[in-house]
Structure formats: structure tokens, C-alpha cells
Amino acid sequence: MATPNLQFKTNYEVSSKIEPFYKGGKVQISKDEKHIFCCCGSRVSVLEISTGKVIHSIEHDDQEDITSFALSCDDDVLVTASRALMLKQWDWKEVRCTRSWKAIHTVPVASMTFDSTSTLLATGGCDGTIKLWDVVKQYCTHNLKGSSGVVHLVEFHPDSDRLQLFSSSLDCGIRVWDLRSSRCVCVLQSHYSPVTSLSFSSDGDTVISSGRDKICTVWDLKTRKAKRTVPVYEAVEGVVLLPENKDFSQIGVKSKELHFITAGSKGILRVWEASTAHCVYTQTLTSTLPASEGDDEEDNTLRITYLLHLSTSSRLATVTAEHNIVLYQLPELTTQQQFVGYNDEVLDVKFLGKGDSHIVVATNSCQLKVFELLTNSCQILYGHTDIVLSLDVFKKGALFASCAKDRSVRVWHMDSDSRQVRCVAQGSSHTNAVGSITCSRLKASYIVSGSQDCTVKVWDLPADLLTAGADVHQITARITEKAHDKDVNSVAISPNDKLLASGSQDRTAKLWSLAGEGNLGLVGVFRGHRRGVWAVCFSPVDQVLATSSADGTAKLWSLQDFSCLKTFEGHDASVLKLIFVSKGTQLLTSGSDGLVKLWTIKTNECVKTLDAHQEKVWGLHASRKDDRMVTGSADSNITVWVDVTEAELAEKQAKQEDQILKNQELSNLLHEKKYLKALGLAISLDQPHTVLTVIKAIRQGEDSRELLEKTVLKLRLDQKEALLRYCVIWNTNARNCLDAQSVLQVLLTHLPPEELLQYQGARAHLEGLIPYTERHMQRIGHLLRASMFLNFMWQKMRVAGAPSSMDQDEEMDTSPFAHNQPFFVIDKKGMSKESRDDDNDSDGEQDEDPNCSVEQEEDDDDKVSATKKAATTEVSAENGASTKTNGSQHSGSEESSEDEDEEEVEMEPMKTVKRLQASSAAQHQTVAI
């Protein structure tokens, strides 16, 4: 059976995966419109729009479900909230948690949003409160109370100067909060159900609200009154104001009046004119897209749950109840991309299209999904009315057939130019669910189906099947044969189109002749499996038939005498699918144990076991070139595998070993401080992070500036070019910007512009450095100003009210200062509360003079920790100790209020004092304010 020079397959590696990335909840698109952020249980998935791949998966350590998240407007910071009442701040590009703190809310956070400056974060809780957080200075700034029930919507006014926050809860009102006074200035009442979304006009004076009460309201924010109520006759989940001064005539916009788009329970987009409350455009459903039936809007699978506007590219994004994310191009509202967030169980999967560029997938749904493997963009095919159970593809890959529980079969065609798929034929005459289907091998002339009604039907396809026109051909069964005593699980047609094999739950497989015109002729029966037969498959080169069964075995049968030639045992559960590969010399089997096994038929040996999935692998198919295979499982994952030969495996293993040796050599060079060789080796590995490690090691040594300059300038031209490219990457991260700027200083200072411009992509690299460098300079400027203020405050501190028991050998700064200047009482020793009470609660501790000689051990006993100093301040306040500031009496610390709510937040001035206190304590360890 084996061809002498045939190369057997020995291994498969994962080429790509289509995994669940969205299971409901919030969806947000980054400002640069390159990534989609969405909830998927206990993690936030980051989907790259251009490739359709999940590039990051951000998950809490506690494995708790994420209840809400928010991405800052500058795309730098991601904050997530979990059911454990923890807020986490992430550097999402590095998948690294930078900060974690308690949410203060007593119940989970339901909604979150950032303001336009990316410094303020608002969290709305299920406890009816709203907290505002300064993510830069890292403290809570506001605690807004007054909402009733879950705060499911929080939105900042786009004009940051107005300092306004809008929120909505179960009371159906829209609360407007003034953040200067922390008060609710008004409640906009119009809706009779929860408000689902807000959309602001470009001037910020108008906002449109939508609700599930089937109305949209246009509000004038100057008068804080409703200008217009627009009945939209569907529960609206999202509303978007159309930009002004753009041509949207293709969607019915004929005037310069305010227009907006709504999306909701009907699953379509509609355009409304605000001034007249008229619908000027309704999205047209495609021929394969069923309209919503009746008034049961909650059961409509096309229901839209989110509507987002991508202003830069002039697109709209919708999220459906079936977890699909669709991108539409304005103004035509044509579908541009579609991503499937969750597939449910995968029941069958097949390669499709020219060059097997697509896969068609049958999931636990009545829709078919066609994925483009390059971008993961998906077409959803509507037609069947119940769960699709099986698929098969004709030889050329443009036509495929499907069958479903709705007792029907359908034939679909993919256009070679547009790659769009449409239904071209359908038939229904089975009396029960159709569980298997197969296509003719030589040409697209007929299909055969097997059903739970125990029959097998042969359907002829019309000659004009692919003629132009949208009409779907109605086909009828030419042959109907009662084939088995129980469900027909699988059918297969031989490579010459003359034989048909069927496998049944009655533990047998049968061979039929297709030569007769009137009926099927039974040729023979294959008996030997102890349980039902799940799959049958003809060899492409030999006169043998392969079967797989629920008894955990696969068998090879002779078509001559119907005897069992070989039995393949290895699966721990049912063998669900099997296919021939390597020109019929090897078998691939998949089972309920989640494993895929590769068998060599001649030796009856399992040469590779792939731990492919966690659950049953229902889908298994090989590409026409036999270089790839695809698997689909009940765990909702679809995996594309690529064939890897022994030579490629050996080459890959050699590369891995070489990588390990180079890493060891690099470590030795760094240890020996041979930085030039280490840097050259790191650049040869083409790993920016490894090169950065060498740069950090150079900058940590003595005379780091001169050493870095000497090392970098000795590099070759191509190495300097690579180093410039890496600097662009490092400069995007604040943690690595100093290293990047140090290298850039060497390159820009010592290399002439003519040489720099010779580097490949030098202009683009230098342009990419500018915006991040400006941002780093602004951040450093803020830090410098803050440190100057702190230094100023420290220099103005003077010792006053020193106790009489002060040691005579300690000196005190007695330089004069104005009487109206504020002074700070310095406590000299860390006394107990009783001793301080005896001394009239005098908080006095003397500054240490660096020039005086004091016994070190005594100083260590006298020094007060930062915690004790804080306690000293509180005790002083309780006993009425006060200091004189600018001629008026003030308490030495804030008085504590027993009636104050424990959840009330601290105001910014007190936080500032505490930060100054901590900084002063760190520098001088003897000062307590």
C-alpha cells in the first residue's frame, strides 16, 4: 500500500487557533482603532483587528470573573474590576499588573470609564455609589452618592474643562454631577426604563440618550431640558451621533440638522433626524439574513447589544447577542469585518476556497460560519432553522453541502472573486434529523445524506446550479433507501463515485453500489465493532474502507471480501472521526478523549498523539495539498495544524539548542564585563529585550556614560542600525525610556546625519521617537516641579517650641524667619502617649545636625518611625495641641469625626500633606508634621 519514496508524516504543529474571546459584557475599541477589548469570563481579551488574532489575554490572579473594565483615552492604561472587589491597573501591552487596590465599593463594580485626559477613572457600583480615582496620583478623589440601585452607566463630558460626570441607574434618570462641588446638579428625567447609552455632540451642548423604553431623547445641556423625544419602536441599546460637515447622503441624510444612528432589539441600524423624529434610513437585510419575527425581541439572535463609533476610520462597530462583533464602513454601512466571539460546540469543520484559504464551521447553532484564515474575519450564513450537524466539500473547494436537525440539506457556493458565500440549492424530505452528508468526488453532480430516520437519500444537483441569480434551487431525492436499523451516523462516497459506504448506530457499516438508476444496491456488510459506528472513509488509493466506532477502535476493511484487515487501538473513548493522509498510507483519528492520533497503516503503529483539545473532537479534515489539517472540538476551539517533517523538527531543535548556548554565552560575557561582545551577540539574536538587558548592565557600572559611548561606537554599521530600531521600541515604555534616550544620545551626538539617514527606515524611526519623547519630557517636567515644591517646603521648615530637656550637645538651626511664616513643631524623641501628656502634648523633636557628634546607639533608640509619628500627630490633635499659622490658630492635625462614614474619601489637601510628611520622614527620619 505504501509508495516507496513517500515521506511519512511524523508530527503536526499548531499553525493558528480560533478560540472564544468574548462571552458577553463590555466591548471597547482602542483610540488608534487597532485593538478590540472585550470580556471573556475571568479575562479581558485583546483582539488585533487587522489579523483577527487574540494577542493578549489579561486575567486576575484570583481567577474571579471580571465585571467591568476601561481603557484610557490615550490607550496606555487598562483598569479591570473583578468580583473580588479589586481594581487592577495594567500595562496591557506587556500584560503586567502595575497597581492593585481595593475598590471601596461593597459590591462589584458594574461600569467604568476614563475622562478625556486619561487621569480620572469613574467606577459605578452595584451599591449605588460612584467613585472617582486619580490614576496618576493614585488616590480616590470623589465619592458620589444618591443613585438608586446598580449604576450601570457612567460617562464623562467630553470637554474636560466642564468637569461633569453623567450616570444612570435603575431609577431611569440621568444624573449630572459637578465634580468641583461633588454634587448632583440635576437629574434628566425622560425614560421609563434603564438608559443604555449616551452620545455627545461635537460642541458638547447636546446629548442624546437611548433606552429600552423604545425612545431616544435629545437633551440641551445648557438649559438641562429635553429638546425632542424620538420614538424608535424598538429597545435601543446604542446610539451614535453622526459627525457634522460630512456627506451621509447615501444613508438618507439630506439636511444639516442633527442625525443619529440607533441599534437595538431588531438587529438593524437605522438613521434618524433629530428635529423631525423621522427615520431617514433603515439598513437592508441580506437575502440570507432572516428578519426578526414577532414581538419576542429578547429571543432575537440578531439583537444588537452595543454600538460603537470609530471616528478616525469613519466606521461603526456593533456587538450582537450571539457575541459577534461586526464592523461597518460609513457612509455605505457595508460590512467590512466580522469577528465571532464565541462558537459554542464545534460539530464539524472543513477547508474551503481556493488554496484552502477558508474554513467552514458547523457549531451548536443553526448558522454556518465561514472564517478567512488570514484575518479570522467571518461570514455568518443563515438558512437552516435548526442545529447544523454535518458538512462536506466538493473537490474544487468552491461548493459545499450541509445538513441539519431541521431535516433539510443545503448546497452553498463561494464566489471566487468576492469570497462571498450564498445558498444555491436546498432540499427536505427526511422525516428526522439529517446527521451526515457527503459530496460526489469526480464532479459536482450529486450529494448523499444519512438521517436518524435510518434512511439514505441521493440528491441530484441541477446543471444550472451556479447560474447568475439569487434564486435557490429546490432539489428532490432521486433515491431513498432504508439502510440501517438505527441512526445513520456517517456516509462516504468512493473516489470513483461508484460506491457508497454508510455507518450506523446498529454497529455495522454497509457498502452500496451507486451504479443503478432506481435504487441503491447492497454490496456487503462490515461486522466487527462492538458499539455504534461513528465514521466511515474510503482510502484514496486502495480498495479498503476505514471505520471508527464508539468501542474506542478504528478498523480497516477489505472491499473484496469485507474482512477486517487491521484494528487500531489507542483511544480511551469513542473514535469520532478518521481521515486518510499521506496518499492513503496513514490515518488520522480523533476521539471523545480530546486526542488526535496519527497512525502508520503498514506498521499499525501510532507515531504521534496530539493533545489537541479538552473535549470531544468532532471536526477533523485535511487540506487538499495534504500539508495541513483542521480540528474542531466541543470546547469551542478550532485549531489549524501544519505538517512538520523530521528534517524540519531537527532544524527547529538545533535552533533551540543554539539559542540556549548563545544565552549562556551572553550570560558569561556579562559576568566577565565583556560588554562589546555581549552587545554584538544580543543584537545577532534579534531580541530587543535581550539587547536592553545588556544596555542596562552597561549603565549600572562605573563611568557608565563613557562605557556606553565607547561600546556603542565600536559596533558595526548594521548593528547600530538595529540598535536604533530597538530604541524606538524601548522608548514607548516609560520604564525603559532612560536606556533608550542614553543610546540615542550617543548615536545622535557622534554619528553624522548622513550616516544616520543611510539606515533602513531611519526617517520613520526618528519620527516615531518624537511623540513619546515629548510625553516623557512632560512627565519629567511635572516631577521636577513637584520636587521643587517639596524642596521649597522643606527649606522653609524651622524648629520651634523645643523642650527644655533638649540635649545641650545637639545644635538647632536658629536662622531667623518671618513671624507670619508657617512653622512646624518638631518632636525630638519618640515618647509614649503618657510622657507626651505630661509634657503638655508638645510635639517636638529636634533636627539632627550632621556636624554634631552623637552616640549612634542613642540616636537609634530616639528615632521615631513614620507610623509612630502619625500616631503622635493624632494624639496631639486629641489633646488640643495647636500651632500658629499666618496669625490664626489651627489644629496640629485634622480632627477626627466619629460620625463620618468610613467610606468617605480623603480630600486632596490632606493627601498632599501626608505625601509631604512621608517624603520628609524618608529624608530626615526625625521630622513629624
Query: What's the pLDDT score for residue 820?
Result: 42
CA separation for the pair 271, 248 (Å, rounded):
10
Give domain limits for the chain.
485-642, 661-780
Cα dist from 637 to 343, 379, 573, 614, whole Å: 8, 17, 20, 9
Question: In terms of C-beta density within 10 A (0-12 exposed, 13-18 middle, 19 or more buried), how is residue 872 classed?
Answer: buried
Q: How far apart are CA 719 and CA 746, in angstroms?
A: 14
The distance of Cα 559 from the centroid of its chain, to the nearest Å, equals 51
67, 82 in Cβ contact below 8 A? yes
CA count, 13 A, side-chain hemisphere, 590? 28
Distance, in Å, from the CA atom of 241 to the CA atom of 309, rounded to the nearest integer, reads 9
Exposed e or buried b per residue across 190-226, where buried means at least 16 C-beta atoms within 10 angstroms of its C-beta: bbeebbbbbbbbeeeebbbbbbbbbbbbbbebeeeee
CA–CA separation, 444 vs 120, rounded Å?
62
End-to-end CA distance of the chain: 91
SS3 924: helix
Question: Which residue type, as a one-letter code, is found at position 110?
Answer: A
pLDDT attached to residue 667: 86
**CA–CA dist 308, 489 (Å, integer):** 44
Residue labelled with grid coordinates 565607547? 710
Q: Could you give the CA distance from residue 317 to residue 304 in angstroms, rounded to a whole number?
A: 10
CB within 8 A of 77, min separation 6: which ones?
71, 89, 90, 91, 92, 114, 118, 135
Q: Is 515 exposed, middle or buried (0-12, 13-18, 19+ CB in 10 A)?
A: exposed
**For residues 109 and 127, is the Cβ–Cβ distance under 8 A?**
no
Supply the pLDDT for residue 439: 95
User: Cα separation of 300 and 171, whole Å?
Assistant: 26
- Ranges of the chain whose pLDDT falls below 70: 1-6, 286-299, 468-470, 516-518, 646-653, 798-929
Contact 45, 22 (CB under 8 A): yes
Q: In angstroms, rounded to a whole number, what is the distance separating the alpha carbons of residues 487 and 877? A: 85
- What's the full length of the chain, in residues? 929
> Per-residue pLDDT tens for 726-767?
888 888 888 888 888 899 888 888 888 888 877 877 777 777
- Looking at the DSSP bridge assignments, the partners of residue 190 are none
Q: Is 400 exposed, middle or buried (0-12, 13-18, 19+ CB in 10 A)?
A: buried
Taking the C-alpha atoms of residue 501 and residue 524, their distance in angstroms, rounded to an integer, is: 10
Q: For 823-903, where are the E strands, in sequence order?
A: 824-825, 882-885, 888-891
CATH class of 485-642: mainly beta
- Helix, strand and coil in the chain, % to nearest 5: 20, 40, 45
For residue 798, the model assigns a pLDDT of: 58
The strands making up 638-644's β-sheet, listed across from edge to edge, are: 11-18, 638-644, 628-633, 617-622
Residue located via cell numbers 454490496: 523
* Helix 717-730 and helix 688-700, axial crossing angle in degrees, nearest 10: 90
Which three cell numbers mark 650? 531537527
| Per-position DSSP letters for 222-275, written without gaps between them | TTTEEEEEEE-SS-EEEEEEPPTTS--GGGT--SSS-EEEEEETTS-EEEEETT
Closest CA to 166 of 206, 126, 213, 106: 206
Within 353-407, strands assigned E span 358-363, 368-372, 378-381, 388-393, 399-404
Per-residue pLDDT, 830:
38
374: Cα within 13 Å, side-chain hemisphere: 6
Residue matched to cell numbers 496669625: 887
What whole-number distance in Å separates Cα of residue 9 and Cα of residue 597?
Answer: 12
Kindly give the pairing relationship between strand 421-428 and strand 473-474.
parallel
How crowded is the C-beta side of 676, counted as CA atoms within 13 Å?
Answer: 9
Q: Which of 146, 152, 128, 141 is nearest to 184 (CA)?
A: 146
Give the residue from 40, 41, 118, 44 showing the smallest Cα distance to 80. 44
Contact call for residues 584 and 595 (beta carbons, < 8 A) = no
What is each CA distance from 730 to 56, 94, 740, 782, 814, in whole angstroms?
19, 12, 6, 22, 50
115 touches 97 (CB < 8 A) = no
DSSP 687-735: -HHHHHHHHHHHHHSTTHHHHHHHHHHTS-HHHHHHHHHHHHHHTTSTT
DSSP 53-117: EEEEEEE-TT-PPEEEEEE-TTS--EEEEETTSEEEEEETTTTEEEEEEE---SS-EEEEEE-TT
Q: Are 155 and 198 in contact (CB under 8 A)?
A: yes
How high is the pLDDT of residue 750?
A: 87
Contact 392, 401 (CB under 8 A): yes
Cell of 265: 432589539
